[in-house]
Amino acid sequence: MIAIRKCLFPAAGYGTRFLPLTKAMPKEMLPVVNKPLIQYGVEEAARAGISDMAFVTGRGKRALEDHFDISHEIESQIAGSGREALLAEIRRLVRECRFSWTRQLAIQGLGHAILTGETLIGGEPFAVLLADDFCVTEDAGVLSQLAAVFAEQQCSIIAVEEVPAHETADYGMIAGEEISSGLFRVSQLVEKPAPEDAPGNLAIIGRYILTPDIFAVLRVTEPGRNNELQLTDALQSQARQGRVLALRFRGRRFDCGSVAGYMAANEYVWKRSRDELKTQPACI
Ligand code: G1P
């Protein structure tokens, strides 16, 4: 059985909804309480058994590389102090995972970002995580939930959740047949449709497991919504062969690409970590 070893993190976007904050700072470094969004994403991937973290970045994103590195100056500054514990998680990630980086030269859609990452992934199934979809779960993280389905089904799997009709234009929307509780065989995917064109009320959220033939499909996919290369359109091609499943994941998602969703995530995590025992970090 093929296990998922690699996760691709598309992280080249500008985060214009957060300007002026994102003028010189990558949106992936926005903190939820005291940890950047991208670190939550890498932790979720690591908890799903993934060892190789592959980033598609762009200009102005060097803080991401610095974050997943050792800062010798800071390490020696806090050595022996109570603050050492604050770096424990990131230190463990840096030690236990492998990180690789490539750049997307122009912003041309999620499909283009994935294709740019091919060089880091090669010919094996892989996960994709969009860090601004911030997910909290009670038990297994969303990627772990997808990986469990992949272990049985060995095809592309996307995470979905129900959204109200007036939000369909913000998401890739899918339709499919429910083959077991919360698991759908996808028949149709449409990128950001108007409510009247949406095939249903299930929206794709930023967690995917993709089979590597997606790269060949992307290469022949025409630009779609916004004249950009859309992953959703490439998945439609796999779905025609019955090779895409969608999982209504267990957990809660915050859209940290929007200021309102981001503020709600901070409030939620802050409250939850204060409610729990101080020594017990929130399970995210
Ligand atoms: C991307 C995908 C979209 C998906 C969304 C989830 O859009 O293209 O299908 O629903 O992520 O966050 P973006 O939000 O990057 O425009």
**In the block, which residue shows the tokens 């610095």?**
66
Q: Whose Cα sits closest to atom 13 in ligand 1?
A: 171
Question: Does residue 284 sit within a domain?
Answer: no
Asked if pLDDT for residue 6 goes beyond 70, the answer is: yes
SS3 category, 236: helix
Question: Does residue 48 sit within a domain?
Answer: yes
Q: Domain residues for 133? A: 6-278
The b-or-e profile of 44-81 (16+ CB within 10 A means b, else e) is bbbbbebebbbbbbbeebeebeebbeeeeeeeeeeeee
Ligand 1 environment, Cβ below 6 A: 110, 130, 133, 171-172, 191, 203-206, 230-232, 257
The b-or-e profile of 110-128 (16+ CB within 10 A means b, else e) is bbbbbbbbbebbeeebbbb
List pLDDT tens digits, range 194-221: 999 999 999 999 999 999 999 999 999 9
Looking at ligand 1, which atom is closest to the CA of residue 191? Answer: 9
Looking at ligand 1, which atom is closest to the CA of residue 172? Answer: 9
Domain count, the chain: 1
List pLDDT tens digits, range 7-32: 999 999 999 999 999 999 999 999 99
Assigned token pair, 109: 């859609």
Percent of the chain with pLDDT over 70: 97
For the segment 136-153, the average pLDDT, to the nearest whole number, is 96
Looking at ligand 1, which atom is closest to the CA of residue 225? Answer: 8
Residue 250's nearest CA partner among 143, 129, 131, 125 is 143
Question: Does residue 283 sit within a domain?
Answer: no
Q: Whose Cα sits closest to atom 10 in ligand 1?
A: 171
* pLDDT at res. 254: 98
Question: Does residue 73 sit within a domain?
Answer: yes
**In the block, which residue shows the tokens 């492998």?**
98
CATH code of the domain covering residue 194: 3.90.550.10
Asked if pLDDT for residue 277 goes beyond 70, the answer is: no
